[in-house]
Structure 1
Amino acid sequence: MPTRRSFLTGLLASGLAPYASWADAGSPAYLAAAKVPSGGFALFGLSAAGARLFEIPLPGRGHAAAAHPSRPLAVAFARRPGHFALVIDCATGETVRRLDTPDGSHFYGHGVFSADGGVLFTTENDYENGRGMIGVWDAAGGFARLGAIPSGGVGPHELRLMPDGGTLVIANGGIETHPDAGRQKLNIPFMRPNLSYVSFDGALADQVEPPEDWHKNSMRHIAVNGDGLVAIACQWQGTMTEVPPLLATHRMGEKLEFHALGPRAEAELQGYLGSVAFSGSGDEIAVTGPRGGMAFVTDADGRVSRRLDQRDICGVAPGQAGFVFTTGEGQVLADSGAAHDMATHDCAWDNHLVPII
């Protein structure tokens, strides 16, 4: 009778050795970064019901994370300008690899895996040349850096994988920054945000930008549903006397459409949306406004169906029915027509709630 060791040796030889899965990390539904009571920071795994499954310390404030599609690996990104991106084994809590950008560049807080998990893409600022880049990493080969491709603009923030599996959609915020100037925005009078669709080889497939009068409407966060509709959450960099719509939607090859959230809603949001998500069905869009203490749910055409008033609400992701939200006061909320608390934790959730698919 073969021993376990000989069985595993045979699997390794045949290339069929079992990999750990997300089940080995407790089957989390979401990842979220947070500030903890000690003043430190951590990456959490949460269940579909908002229960804490794991807590892994981070060396600084986290922003978002990228979840591997099958293995229990998360890439935790620092808040921009990002000086760390850690590949973490969520089953063991160990840091597998620290990712470093080339000299003269830094991370912008977001990344995404290819559908098979073999490649990681990261948004980066090539600040020495004033351009956005997408870092390309060999996730199947120990996360060696393979190179970089242009993002199609300045200040790329969030990026997502399109349903075709071979195209990235990138929110280029249009804002130029440089570490020597801290978080100062260097080009507001002539900034030009855009939404770019870029193939894995770097070819630009499509690109749209706001109307000239709204060129200060920084396109920051995005979500994609199963049929390729992209929802965009913007952050207005102009005066608060006339704030344009902050939610937009787009399909490749079509016009960019903006959707007002209601009379004075954009002003009440202080011109700032923090996160955006589609529901699991793809029929609804949720956007959050932590500065205004509110979130809105719309249909896929941007028509508002309901508003949620909640202090410091920012993270959002699809839930089992509707959406799940997180707040800076430690709450995890479920919404399927009316919001209710699922859990409250002793932490301050950061901006994003990342679903594990």
Structure 2
Amino acid sequence: MTTRRAFLASLAAATATPRLGWAAVGNPSYIAAAKRPDGSYVLAGFDTKGAGLFRLPLPARGHAGAAHPQRAEAIAFARRPGYYAVVIDAVSGKALHELTPPDGRQFNGHGFYIDGGATLLTVEQLAQGSDGLIGVWDVASGYTRIGEFATHGIGPHDVRLMPDGQTLVVANGGIQTDASDRTKLNIPDMRPSLVYLSLAGDLLEEVRLDDELHQNSIRHLALREDGLVGFAMQWEGEPGMAWPLLGLHRRGAAPVLAEAPLPDELAMKGYAGSIAFSADGSEVAITSPRGGRLNRFSSEGVFLGGQRRDDVCGLAAHPEGLVASDGFGGLIVVGPDGARPLALFDDLAWDNHIVAL
């Protein structure tokens, strides 16, 4: 297992020479965090055919990540509540930078690059009270933190840049957690929201669900090229309920909640772990590792069918539709005609997300 001392030593050994582009590691299509049999963690890259292209060591369990749009650099974020994010040279495997949130803040597992890779945005919250923040980091100066702004909600988990390049959409989960762990403190009084912000942090629009759904935590986001936002939810209320776990939203309109037939909704066990639009944008799907289930919907919210798969969670667009990962190292492709195996990495247990490059 990679020790923190060894990891920091690799960080110190990184050079400041110009970095190569993604072609140097085979032009990967995806990155995803995983656990190895010896208990160590890696960030792995693979292509649309399921071929593994690289594995980069992580100091602890990863959650999601982001790829620099020009250089072969990937950043991996720790699972919430997180206290590290690491930038890794995908060619050499060396750690280039390790980011830590300022005192009193926590990383919440997600982030991405803007401005052609000049700026990194990280999803964060205050350790006390869980008020949401977006951290702003300057990449050229070695990932220097240069600012932050509020998400206008608590417990944010995911953020995306809208197609206009000027607007952020944020999933505020609405959950207040203990400063040191994942204990949930405010379940009866949750107020999840979907918000749109300017890049300066101005609140442009706020979307809330009906009162009866105030315990449906808005967790993960998917974005279509025309600005249609998909959001995946996790039910924190009374167990055994079958509330919709997928929402669709366009700015200025009311959200559309996509309902599956009762058996298919119950099969999700109240938990949607990942969400993605298909490559052509005609479908959107959510996964549940708890239920071993992948449910597909049209982009209008009509249920199209479900797919059983033990411990399935990671999800991303694929030329044939969607690609999904599971905790046993499997990758499958899901299209209109069903699912087919793509690859099996029998020495990896895939974590929650697949990030498309």
TM-score interval w.r.t. the shorter chain?
over 0.9
Does the Cα contact within 8 Å between 1:232 and 1:247 map onto a contact in 2? yes
1:6 is matched with which residue?
A: none
Does the Cα contact within 8 Å between 1:240 and 1:267 map onto a contact in 2? no
Question: Displacement of 1:199 after TM fit?
Answer: 1.0
SS in structure 1 at match of 2:132? strand
AA paired with 1:283? S
1:96 is matched with which residue?
A: 96
**Equivalents in 2 of 1:121, 1:266: separation in Å?**
34
Is residue 169 of structure 2 the alignment partner of residue 169 of structure 1? yes
Does the Cα contact within 8 Å between 1:69 and 1:115 map onto a contact in 2? no
Is residue 264 of structure 2 the alignment partner of residue 265 of structure 1? yes
The 3 A distance-change label for structure 1 pair 167 and 54 is: same
Structure (1 or 2) with the larger CA radius of gyration: 1
**Equivalents in 2 of 1:342, 1:110: separation in Å?**
26
Q: How many residues align?
A: 339
Question: Which portions of structure 1, spanning 4 or more consecutive aligned residues, are displaced by more than 6 angstroms?
Answer: none
**Equivalents in 2 of 1:319, 1:102: separation in Å?**
37
1:19-52 alpha-carbon deviations (Å, 9 max, x no partner): 5211112211000000101111110001111111
Question: Displacement of 1:202 after TM fit?
Answer: 0.7
Stretch of structure 1 that moved more, 240-249 or 272-281: 240-249
> Normalising by structure 2, what TM-score?
0.92
**Equivalents in 2 of 1:223, 1:85: separation in Å?**
22
SS in structure 2 at match of 1:116? helix
The 3 A distance-change label for structure 1 pair 252 and 312 is: same
Question: Displacement of 1:334 after TM fit?
Answer: 1.0
Question: Displacement of 1:353 after TM fit?
Answer: 0.4
1:38 is matched with which residue?
A: 38
Question: Displacement of 1:245 after TM fit?
Answer: 0.6
Is residue 186 of structure 2 the alignment partner of residue 187 of structure 1? yes
1:222-259 alpha-carbon deviations (Å, 9 max, x no partner): 00000000000000000124331110000111111111
SS in structure 2 at match of 1:153? strand
**Equivalents in 2 of 1:158, 1:343: separation in Å?**
28
1:321 is matched with which residue?
A: 320
Question: Displacement of 1:18 after TM fit?
Answer: 7.3
Is residue 285 of structure 2 the alignment partner of residue 292 of structure 1? no
For 1:233-272, what aligned pairs fall within 5 Å after superposition? 233-272=232-271
For 1:10-159, what aligned pairs fall within 5 Å after superposition? 20-159=20-159
SS in structure 2 at match of 1:352? coil
Does the Cα contact within 8 Å between 2:154 and 2:173 map onto a contact in 1? yes
1:349 is matched with which residue?
A: 350
**Equivalents in 1 of 2:310, 2:33: separation in Å?**
18
SS in structure 2 at match of 1:264? helix
The 3 A distance-change label for structure 1 pair 121 and 313 is: same
**Equivalents in 2 of 1:69, 1:261: separation in Å?**
36
SS in structure 1 at match of 2:116? coil
Question: Displacement of 1:129 after TM fit?
Answer: 4.7
AA paired with 1:243? A
Aligned-residue identity in percent: 45
